[in-house]
Amino acid sequence: MRSRRRVKGKIVTHERTLTAVLHEEKSIYVAECPEVGTVSQGKTIDEALRNLKEATELYLEEFPAKAGTRPLITTFEAKCA
């Protein structure tokens, strides 16, 4: 993932590895980036990831992410009926 920001009038670009969480809803895949909060979808996993990458890069152009922010991702058990 590439993000850009302006420093002293110059655009600085750097890459960052982010997390994608995917799940299937009916006939589409929904992809979410928990570090940034962006969400997108696609008919295939690849399409959902491409769309998420595009949405995240566009978001980060306007709202740069703070360096080093990573969510805590874990699992838990819940009772189901």
Which pLDDT tens digits describe the chain residue by residue (81 residues)? 454 556 566 666 778 889 999 999 999 999 999 989 999 999 999 999 999 999 999 999 898 877 766 778 888 999 998
76 is a domain residue:
no
The reported pTM is 0.76
Q: Which residue range forms the structural domain that includes residue 11?
A: 2-62
45 is a domain residue:
yes
73 is a domain residue:
no
Rounded CA-CA distance 52/30 in Å is 9
Domain count, the chain: 1
Q: What is the CATH number of the domain that holds 7?
A: 3.30.160
